[in-house]
């Protein structure tokens, strides 16, 4: 059996005082000046060594080595007599119940005797099961203290445990949130005891428990870019000051419908409504520290999707235009000349607006112009009497030139006199804008057999008939008048016009037809008193 120096020493463990209240843990320094006070502060000692020995945790022994600070014995110690014979030492010292947070820091000093040739081991463990003191019932069990934070000399190497006061530091990490639990020191040595190959004497002193102090946590950015209804929104929040991985949540207000905030700080989704939405985002780090940022996210209307296809140019005489150019369908039209979905053309340029309200309540508009051209001015020189049976003749007298003639007995611009009657002739002209207008006159086809037709003219006569050239016209006028004499060919063309002014009483006038082609002519005499006509055959 190995003989070991029995030293009734103490293991000094200082864990900061913990206040079970709504306040955060304060920094605690413990020098273990009197370990008898530990139980009253919530400490728990449990020796699970197998077999049990003569000692538990005890006040330090200044003879073996002095405390790190304070009086020589002001530390806590444990030694090989925690078990008897050859056994396994498993001696626990538990802190009071704490609110454990990531970032909390434990520092302490520990050592063994000078020139120690034995192997010692010390573990720092953690339980997150509230005030539980369950460390198991055997020397190798750990109960609720399954998390190993630190182990000094885990392989039980000889002469390895520090022989002078050495500081160790443990930072709590890996918690998902602040958690109620305890910390524990476990003096753990296998093949220990007075007759064992391992274990001697350890002390712990100058323990400081420093709760993590939350720095200011700032959520970034300070403002959000606007979203658009119907379009995917994707923005990522960040932060400064957080310990470990931060998580984000909306703690008040309302996000736009269709948009969510993931715990990783990513906004996602497609807004389904427009407007401004104010909400507060809270960031929480792994130590439970928080920071907030108030945001207003504005969701704008979608990009204007209304459009108008080009309108056709129109003429003032066109029928109303049915408006179908707007897209998407379902909107309304407005503007000068617009009634319902029709445009009534009037000369000039008109602006037409197409408006519709989308599913988000946004008004979308498009505008276009329609040009209405005036109709051309069209005239047609009046026709005179045409004798039945006359030869076909080309129509003329329509203005502007380049139009077309139509009507009964008209073909290719030529009129063929038919039976006696009145024949309406229409002249149609289309300009460069495609606008069309017409003018109409009548051609009268006569049998040309009557000698005289007098309407208000007294004693009218026209002789000789037939004639070889000279024709005399006579009639009586009671008042002074102007006389217009027209010579009309058989095809209705006026071949000559003469005007005689200030005629009164018996009128006689000689016409010379000798220069005209032989044929049938109509002599037409007009005064304010009446009109008379006479067919003349020129031989």
Q: Which helix (H) or strand (E) holds 51?
A: strand 50-52
User: What are 321's strand-pairing partners?
Assistant: 343
Query: Of 177, 272, 168, whose CA–CA distance to 230 is shortest?
Result: 272
Check whether domain 218-300 has CATH 1.20.120.160, yes or no: no
Question: Are β-strands 404-406 and 379-380 bridged in parallel, bridged antiparallel, or unpaired?
Answer: unpaired
Helix, strand, or coil (residue 209):
strand
Asked if domains 28-210 and 218-300 share a fold, the reply is no
DSSP state of 36: G
Check whether domain 379-446 has CATH 2.60.40.10, yes or no: yes
CATH number for the segment(s) 28-210: 2.60.120.200
First to last CA, the chain: 175
Residue 283 to residue 281: CA distance in whole angstroms? 7
Query: Of 220, 269, 222, 211, whose CA–CA distance to 248 is shortest?
Result: 220
CATH number for the segment(s) 453-538: 2.60.40.3080
What pLDDT tens digit does each residue of the chain (539 aa) get? 333 433 333 332 222 323 223 334 578 888 999 999 999 999 999 999 999 999 999 999 999 999 999 999 999 999 999 999 999 999 999 999 999 999 999 999 999 999 899 999 999 999 999 999 999 999 999 999 999 999 999 999 999 999 999 999 999 999 988 999 999 999 999 999 999 999 999 999 999 999 999 999 999 999 999 999 999 999 999 999 999 899 999 999 999 999 999 999 999 999 999 999 999 999 999 899 999 999 999 999 999 999 999 999 999 999 999 999 999 999 999 999 999 999 999 999 999 999 999 999 999 999 999 999 999 999 999 886 777 777 899 999 999 999 999 999 999 999 998 888 899 999 999 999 999 999 999 988 877 654 345 556 888 888 898 899 999 999 888 888 899 999 988 777 899 999 999 888 899 999 999 999 888 888 999 998 888 888 888 88
Q: With DSSP H G I counted as helix, E B as strand and the rest as coil, what are the percentages for the chain, rounded to 5?
A: 0, 50, 50
Domain boundaries, the chain: 28-210, 218-300, 307-373, 379-446, 453-538
The alpha carbon dihedral of 94, 97, 98, 102 has a sign of positive
Tokens 């940022």 belong to 293
Residue 254 to residue 339: CA distance in whole angstroms? 44
Residue 492 to residue 423: CA distance in whole angstroms? 12
The two three-digit tokens of residue 480, written as one number: 């002074």
User: What is the largest distance, in Å, between two alpha-carbon atoms of the chain?
Assistant: 181
Please tell me whether the overall predicted TM-score, pTM, comes out greater than 0.75 for this model.
no
Query: Of 213, 210, 209, whose CA–CA distance to 15 is shortest?
Result: 209
Residue 262 to residue 471: CA distance in whole angstroms? 114
């Amino acid at each position: 059996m190995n003989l070991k120096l029995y030293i009734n020493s103490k293991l000094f463990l200082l864990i900061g005082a913990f206040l079970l209240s709504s306040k955060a843990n304060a920094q605690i320094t413990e020098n273990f000046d009197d370990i008898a006070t530990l139980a009253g502060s919530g400490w728990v000692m449990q020796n699970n060594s197998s077999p049990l020995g003569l000692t538990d945790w005890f006040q330090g022994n200044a003879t073996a080595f002095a405390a790190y600070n304070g009086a020589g014995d002001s530390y806590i110690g444990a030694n090989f007599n925690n078990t008897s014979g050859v056994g396994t030492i498993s001696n626990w010292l538990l802190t009071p119940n704490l609110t454990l947070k990531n970032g909390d820091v434990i520092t302490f000093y520990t050592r063994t005797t000078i020139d120690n040739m034995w192997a010692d081991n010390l573990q720092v463990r953690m339980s997150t099961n509230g005030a539980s003191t369950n460390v198991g019932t055997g020397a190798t069990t750990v109960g609720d203290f399954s998390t190993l934070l630190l182990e000094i000399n885990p392989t039980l190497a000889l002469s390895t445990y520090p022989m002078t006061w050495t500081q160790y530091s443990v930072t709590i990490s890996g918690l998902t949130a602040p958690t109620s639990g305890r910390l524990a020191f476990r003096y753990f040595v296998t093949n220990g005891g007075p007759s064992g190959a391992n274990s001697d004497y350890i002390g712990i002193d100058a323990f400081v428990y420093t709760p993590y102090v939350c720095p200011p946590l700032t959520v970034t950015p300070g403002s959000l870019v606007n979203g658009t209804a119907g379009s995917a929104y994707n923005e990522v929040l960040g932060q400064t000051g957080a310990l470990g991985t931060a998580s984000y949540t909306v703690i008040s207000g309302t996000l736009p419908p269709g948009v969510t905030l993931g715990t990783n700080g990513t906004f996602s989704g497609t807004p389904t409504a427009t407007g401004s939405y104010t909400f507060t985002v809270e960031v929480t780090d792994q130590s439970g520290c928080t920071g907030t940022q108030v945001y207003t996210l504005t969701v704008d209307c979608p990009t204007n999707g209304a459009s108008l296809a080009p309108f056709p140019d129109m003429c003032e005489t066109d029928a109303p235009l049915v408006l179908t150019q707007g897209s998407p369908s379902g909107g309304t039209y407005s503007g000068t000349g617009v009634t319902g979905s029709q445009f009534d053309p009037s000369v000039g340029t008109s602006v037409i607006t197409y408006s519709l309200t989308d599913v988000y309540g946004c008004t979308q508009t498009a505008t276009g112009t329609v040009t209405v051209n005036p109709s051309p001015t069209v005239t047609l020189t009046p026709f005179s009497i045409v004798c039945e049976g006359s030869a076909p003749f080309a129509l003329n007298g329509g203005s502007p030139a380049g139009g077309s003639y139509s009507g009964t007995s008209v073909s290719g611009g030529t009129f063929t006199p038919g039976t006696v009657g009145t024949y309406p002739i229409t002249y149609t002209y289309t300009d460069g804008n495609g606008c069309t207008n017409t003018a109409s006159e009548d051609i009268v086809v006569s049998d040309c057999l009557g000698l005289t037709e007098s309407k208000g003219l007294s004693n009218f006569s026209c002789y000789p008939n037939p004639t070889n050239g000279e024709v005399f016209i006579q009639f009586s006028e009671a008042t002074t008048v102007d006389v217009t004499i027209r010579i009309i060919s058989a095809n209705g063309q006026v071949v000559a016009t003469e005007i005689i002014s200030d005629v009164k009483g018996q009128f006689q006038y000689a016409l010379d037809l000798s220069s005209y082609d032989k044929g049938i002519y109509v002599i037409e005499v007009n005064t304010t008193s009446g009109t008379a006509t006479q067919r003349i055959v020129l031989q």
